[in-house]
Every structure is written in C-alpha cells, then in structure tokens.
Amino acid sequence: MLNLDLSGAEVLGSAGIHRDGLSFAQGVIVDGPVGRSVDLSGYLVLPGIVDVHGDGFERHLAPRRGAMKQMAEGLIAVEAELAANGITTATLAQFISWEGGVRSYEFAEQVFSHLRDVAPSMVTDLRGQLRFETHMLDFYDELPDRMSDWGLRYIVFNDHLPHDRLQAGVQPRRLVSQALKARRSPEAHLALMQALEAESDEVPAALDWLCAQLGKRGIVMGSHDDSTAAQRAVWAARGVKVAEFPETLEAAEATADAGGIVVMGSPNVVRGGSHNLNVSAVDLISMGYCDALASDYHYPSARRAALMMWQNGMRDLKGAWSLVSGGPAAVLGLSDRGELSVGKRADMVVLERSSLRVAATLVQGRVSYMTGEIAARFMG
C-alpha cells in the first residue's frame, strides 16, 4: 500500500478541478503531505469508477458456452480488464434464470462461490449482483439464505418470459437458439416456458414475500426494464428502489418522482441511444432522470460515456464523472468512495490529459493497473 503525494496533476475534487495536489496514506486520502512526491504533470486524476452492473465478464468465465474448469483464473482476467478501464469497484451481474446455460442456477453457484472466495485476494473491489427471474418460484424459499452464503447485497428482478406469445399459443422467437444454449431440446425448452407461464398468477404474492424478507436483511433491490409508471409503483411498494435500465421516460420519471434511483447503461450514451430502441440515456440525463451509469456489457463505455458528456458540454466534468463514481457508490450504499476528498478511500484513475487514456488505476492506494511513462514516475 503506497503513501504518496501526487503533484502537478489536475485533480477532480469535491468542488471540481484543482491543482493543489492529492495525498493518501494507508489507503485513505489525507489532508497534507505524507513524504514522497510523484510529479503527475500532464495527467488528470479522477475518482475510481464504481460499476454498479456489468456482465462483460462472461467471456472470461464461459468461453465457447462452457464454464472454465479453473474459474478463479477467469476472475483474475476479469480484474485485469476492469483495472485497465479505470474501474475500482465492480459489480458482476449474474443471472439465475429458466434460460439455462450461463444463466442457470448451477452456473451462478460457481460464479458466486468463486467470487466470494477469490475476491478478498484481488486489488479491485469485486462484488456480485444477482439477476433473478421472477418466475423461478421454486427458488424463493432458499434465496435469502443463498444470497447470504454467497455474500451478495444486491438483487435485480427480471422477467424475460415472452408472455404475449405464450398466451397466444405462438412459438417464442429464438426458441431453437435459446434451447441450444440451455442444452435442451426446443420441445423441452418450450414446455418449461409454458409451465412457468401457467404459474404467473402466483408470482406477485411470492414477490411481496421475498422482497419483504430481503428488505429486512438490508439487501439493495432493483427492477429491470420497467416500461410503465404502474410497474414502478408496484416495485416501489415492495421497497425496490432501483430502476435498472427503464425502457421509457414514463418509467424513469415515475421512479424519480417516488424518490427512487435510475441506473442506465453507458453503451446507451456512447451509441447515442438504446440498441433496443428504448428511451435514450442521454435524454434521461439531460432531464435529470438518471442517477448512475453502469458499464452494462462493455467495460470501456463507463469512462467513455462520462468523458463524452464533459467534452460535448452536456455536463461539467464533476457532474459527468459523478454518474460513474459517486452516483453508483450511492446505489450500493458505499459512502466511503466515489469522490476524492479527505477520509475517503484512495480509489482513483489517472488519465493522460492529452489522450484521456487510462494510465493508472489505484484501489485503496494499491496499484491495480499502470502502463507507460507514468510507471517510471511512480517508481522514481
């Protein structure tokens, strides 16, 4: 763990950009010099990115549709990618779903168990998010205890059943490809979906019970892909405050009006709109209806989205960067990070001022990534 005084850089502090330097000791930002100085002239020092939802790790843990026999090695590769993109706290979003394959209970058991066991040895703060399909009624009773066993503090509820087509007796789209991924026959996969659809009337009451149990344990809860104010009202009544990737302005506005939290995807910002033609994250941000941006399926997008908003004048750097640092930290209830101020964790990303590429990433004063000229400066 380094104890250093960083000088010469532009530092994004709680009041905006300053050149007063930054000191940290024993993993925490301190007021005043601690001894050894590192000249970071030509660099920009920002709070470390807090990623509140990312599933870009799947390619490392399940290459070519098969889980790695040494999943811990995959997590090490994931951390390297996270650090190279300035992410200091990462939330790995893993399904438990009827869809099977890498979204099965069995795969989730491997991911969360390895994450629990390996994460303490990592520099990056790795956490898990359970993405839970609401029609998995057989798992409700055991879910609170399983989350505790896995060390999970965040759950997001999903419903990907094609209800309209199932109710109309029409074959769901992508049935064959989904069945192959789940290693089921198309007939068996369709029968499973039909059986789950038949139990739909039982889901609301079961969710009322489950959310009450999780709420008592202090679990952060979110809903996914809401499209109406009515849907958000039901979730809010259950204590589910986070709306993750709402599909419409109506749902996002209802979340904000009820005091909830809206999380959008960074790729939506980078692309200039949703790849599914849902509401634009840029529009929600401009209207004040977005509290945090997540990497979603592409880790580099968190940094790129914040910098794009700053460079095009949509927000100043403090406002833009807060969407990938302080905002996500608040979603997770992490008050010890998200900004570079005295007493906070020394979690930071250092960018080359000219190119805005990541030059170094530090977590609690420990290096998780460093490359190029800046390494020589830190080594003296």
Highest mean pLDDT among 69-73, 131-135, 274-278 belongs to 131-135
| % pLDDT > 70, the chain | 97
Instruction: Tell me the average pLDDT across 42-66.
Output: 88
Name, in order, each residue with C-beta under 8 angstroms of 69's C-beta and a sequence gap of 6 or more: none
The 10s digit of each residue's pLDDT in 107-134 is 999 999 999 999 999 999 999 999 999 9
pLDDT, the chain, mean: 95
Q: CB atoms < 10 A from the CB of 174, how many?
A: 10
Phi, psi of 156 (to 5 degrees): -125, 130
CATH superfamily of 49-336: Metal-dependent hydrolases (3.20.20.140)
Q: Are β-strands 220-224 and 154-158 bridged in parallel, bridged antiparallel, or unpaired?
A: parallel
Q: Return the SS3 of 282.
A: helix
Q: Are 266 and 293 in contact (CB under 8 A)?
A: yes
Predicted model pTM: 0.95
Helix segments in 201-342, DSSP class H: 203-216, 229-237, 249-257, 266-271, 281-286, 300-311, 317-322, 326-331
Name the residue ranges covered by the structural domains of the chain.
1-48+338-380, 49-336
**Does the pLDDT at position 72 exceed 90?**
no
Supply the pLDDT for residue 274.
67
DSSP for 100-154 reads -GGGSHHHHHHHHHHHHHHGGG-SSEEEEEEEEETT-GGGTTTHHHHHHHHT--E
Secondary structure letter of residue 276 according to DSSP = T
Residues 319, 311: Cα–Cα separation, whole Å:
12
Over its C-alpha atoms, the chain yields an Rg (Å, rounded) of 22
Instruction: Tell me the average pLDDT across 245-253.
Output: 96
Instruction: Tell me the average pLDDT across 38-47.
Output: 98
pLDDT band at 62 (very low <50, low <70, confident <90, very high): confident
**Does the pLDDT at position 276 exceed 80?**
no
Give how far Cα 233 sits from Cα of 25, 125, 353, 360, Å: 45, 33, 44, 43
Residues 242, 248: Cα–Cα separation, whole Å:
15
Residues 342, 138: Cα–Cα separation, whole Å:
48
Residues 13, 22: Cα–Cα separation, whole Å:
9
Q: Are 246 and 274 in contact (CB under 8 A)?
A: no
Give how far Cα 270 sits from Cα of 267, 273, 281, Å: 5, 8, 9
The residue count of the chain comes to 380
CA 357 to chain centre: 21
Q: Both tokens of residue 189?
A: 């996969």
The 10s digit of each residue's pLDDT in 178-193 is 999 888 999 999 999 9
DSSP for 294-326 reads E-BT-THHHHHHHHHHHHTTSS-HHHHHHTTTH
**Does the pLDDT at position 380 exceed 80?**
no
The 10s digit of each residue's pLDDT in 126-180 is 999 999 999 999 999 999 999 999 999 999 999 999 999 999 999 999 999 999 9
The 10s digit of each residue's pLDDT in 286-298 is 999 999 999 999 9
The 10s digit of each residue's pLDDT in 312-330 is 999 999 999 999 999 999 9
Residue with structure tokens 């904000």? 256
pLDDT band at 273 (very low <50, low <70, confident <90, very high): low
Supply the pLDDT for residue 32.
86
Name, in order, each residue with C-beta under 8 angstroms of 117's C-beta and a sequence gap of 6 or more: 72
Supply the pLDDT for residue 64.
63
Instruction: Tell me the average pLDDT across 248-253.
Output: 97
* 1-48+338-380 CATH fold: Urease, subunit C; domain 1 (2.30.40)
